[in-house]
């Protein structure tokens, strides 16, 4: 297989480990901390996880390794969407396992959790693993979104583990995947299988974080990749001086990606979904907010700009959420067939107008016709609107144009407005990992094996102090149940890891808030450029602006 010069160079890169993990594995001991409890619903979570709840946080330190020596056969699964650095988690796990005993075995289950259930696997060796070091993607074994959540699945997993003599399973995934890891760990403990489960925190969305998990892996690389592209567009906008660029970025449940990209590139506008919800902003108010920037810049002769839109922002607009609920009710059961039988959009529009409340119809009426139709044509298997498919970048540019047309008629706006649209998502999920993610992910995998060796179950691999150079990072583990609360899912109360939203009183948002009014009018763009892998540490090993501000 022919590879690029960059990939060939990256294969030779040696990831940096936390200082204390650089001691030989025989010189790493455990320091136990306090017992833990879940972030909420303690009694309910404890009742659901009697064998794994309340365990102690642990930190690894230099000292004599006191773990019991035994052959380890470890299974590893990549779960959910891709994130840069996943290959290095596997490589770090493999290297630690082999450094302890060359007879240890690492089994990769293919295509996500379904590989465990189907017993579809490969056994890693040096030749195979060396092809994937420091590369992007999850193609080393593939990924999938199968959930491990039923007793039947757990029983199958236990049988497959028993067949291979597996002592531990490492699940590399986001909040849902690590919730499944916690439930599987509890099952294995309750049934005395002897199999441990360790999780690793992954998601480019950045919403798997808390006081213990400073950053999920992949966020650094993905936001740097998007920021390079946004910076390129800003430079183009400032050169051509004739387009407003509306750029949608990943982040359905939280706006961490959008905020980080804004801190990196200083666009004229960046919406933050959590703020939209807190202020109960309407679509019209959001459109006016953007139109104000367009008008002020036009008054200064600048008929161009850049706006960053989080993928899921419309779900945070209260009136839009009510509209979606009413549409789902409107097309419930046989009414969907009645609606679909109507021949023209005019007839369908009359059906909609007759079925929605006046308040929701007022919201529906201001939407561009393409978005109106999308709300009724794109349905999920349950007949509900697929909100994630809404092209919010086009929605807001159309709403802004309508506002500007009104202002032009009123004589308050005399500029020109022409929009371009972009969506940056898949471009960042499998990028070559930054040095930060290459180091962080390798450390997570290496550390996961230390947790296995010391017998921990239902723990998340934890690398902390990440805003400092790697030799100052710390390593350890935290019980996954510490991050959990109860939430309503599909009509049932379920234990899940709490998603971390952008904190409006946090330092990253406060910095953005203090500067955005100036950015909205001025051309204050910054151009991060491509991710740098070789050169001065202050260029190559930069953390995200979010992490740097949080740890000031």
Active site residues: 205
CA 37 from chain centre, in angstroms, equals: 25
CA angle 264/513/269 to nearest 5° reads 60
Q: What is the rounded CA–CA span in Å between residue 210 and residue 403?
A: 40
Report the 10 Å Cβ neighbour count for 65.
18
Phi-psi region for residue 85, left (φ > 0), alpha (ψ -120 to 50) or beta?
left
Task: Tell me 426's DSSP state.
Answer: H
Q: What is the rounded CA–CA span in Å between residue 140 and residue 23?
A: 28
Residue 84: which residues within 8 A CB-CB, separation 6 or more? Answer: 136, 204, 217, 218, 220, 221, 222, 428, 429, 430, 431, 432, 433, 434, 437
Dmax over CA atoms of the chain, in Å, equals 80
The token pair that represents 45 in the structure block: 């979570």
Please name which of 259, 105, 77, 289 lies closest in space to residue 170, comparing C-alpha atoms.
77
* Cβ atoms 281, 258 nearer than 8 A: no
Q: Got the DSSP string for 481-506?
A: GGGEEEEEETTEEEEEEPPPPPPTTS
* Cβ atoms 209, 216 nearer than 8 A: yes
Beta-bridged to residue 476, according to DSSP, are: 59, 462
Q: What is the rounded CA–CA span in Å between residue 18 and residue 27?
A: 14
With DSSP H G I counted as helix, E B as strand and the rest as coil, what are the percentages for the chain, rounded to 5?
A: 45, 15, 35
Task: Tell me 54's DSSP state.
Answer: T
Q: What is the rounded CA–CA span in Å between residue 182 and residue 49?
A: 8
Tell me the residue ranges of DSSP E strands in 255-337. Answer: 269-270, 305-310
* Cβ atoms 269, 293 nearer than 8 A: yes
Please name which of 15, 46, 21, 10 lies closest in space to residue 479, comparing C-alpha atoms.
46
């Amino acid at each position: 297989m022919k590879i690029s010069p960059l990939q060939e160079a990256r294969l030779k890169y040696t990831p940096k480990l936390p200082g204390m993990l650089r001691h030989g594995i025989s010189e790493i001991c455990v320091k136990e901390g306090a017992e833990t409890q879940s972030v909420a619903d303690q009694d309910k979570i404890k009742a659901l996880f009697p064998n794994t709840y309340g365990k102690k946080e642990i930190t690894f330190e230099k000292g004599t390794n006191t773990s019991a020596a035994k052959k380890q056969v470890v299974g590893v699964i990549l779960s959910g969407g891709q994130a840069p650095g996943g290959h290095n988690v596997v490589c770090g796990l493999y290297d630690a396992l082999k450094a302890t005993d060359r007879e240890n075995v690492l089994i990769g289950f293919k295509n996500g959790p379904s590989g465990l259930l189907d017993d579809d696997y490969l056994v890693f060796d040096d030749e195979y693993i060396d092809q994937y070091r420091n590369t992007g993607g999850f193609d080393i074994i593939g990924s999938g979104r199968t959930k491990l959540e039923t007793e039947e699945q757990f029983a199958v997993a236990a049988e497959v583990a028993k067949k291979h003599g597996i002592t531990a399973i490492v699940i590399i995934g986001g909040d849902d995947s690590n919730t499944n890891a916690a439930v599987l760990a509890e099952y294995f403990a309750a049934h005395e299988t002897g199999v441990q489960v360790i999780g690793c925190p992954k998601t480019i969305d950045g919403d798997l974080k808390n006081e213990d998990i400073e950053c999920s892996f992949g966020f650094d690389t993905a936001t740097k990749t998007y920021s390079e592209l946004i910076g390129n567009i800003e430079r183009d906008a400032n050169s051509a001086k004739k387009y407003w660029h509306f750029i949608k970025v990943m982040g359905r449940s939280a706006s961490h990606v959008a905020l980080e990209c804004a801190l990196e590139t200083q666009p004229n506008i960046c919406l933050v979904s959590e703020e939209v919800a807190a202020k109960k902003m309407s679509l019209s108010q959001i459109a006016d907010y953007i139109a104000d920037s367009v008008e002020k810049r036009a008054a200064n002769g600048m008929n161009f700009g850049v706006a960053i839109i989080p993928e899921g922002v419309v779900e945070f607009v209260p009136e839009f959420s009510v509209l979606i609920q009413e549409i789902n009710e409107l097309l419930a059961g046989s009414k969907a067939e009645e609606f679909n039988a109507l021949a023209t959009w005019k007839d369908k529009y009359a059906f909609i107008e007759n079925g929605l409340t006046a308040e929701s119809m007022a919201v529906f009426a201001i939407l561009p016709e393409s978005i109106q139709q999308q709300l009724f044509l794109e349905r999920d298997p349950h007949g509900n609107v697929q909100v994630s498919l809404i092209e919010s970048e086009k929605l807001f540019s159309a709403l802004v144009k309508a506002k500007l047309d009104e202002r032009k008629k009123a004589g308050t706006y005399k500029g020109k407005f022409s929009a371009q649209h972009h969506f940056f998502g898949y471009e960042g999920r499998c990028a070559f990992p930054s040095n930060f993610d290459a180091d962080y992910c390798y450390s997570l995998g290496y550390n996961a094996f230390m947790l296995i060796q010391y017998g921990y179950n239902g723990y998340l691999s934890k690398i902390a102090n990440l805003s400092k150079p790697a030799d100052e990072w710390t390593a350890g583990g935290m019980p996954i149940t510490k991050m959990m609360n109860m939430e309503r899912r599909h009509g049932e109360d379920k234990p899940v890891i709490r998603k971390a939203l952008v904190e409006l009183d946090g330092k990253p948002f406060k910095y953005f808030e203090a500067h955005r009014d100036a950015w909205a009018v001025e051309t204050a763009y910054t151009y991060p450029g491509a991710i740098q892998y070789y050169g001065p540490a202050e260029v190559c090993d930069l953390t995200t602006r979010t992490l740097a501000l949080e740890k000031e």
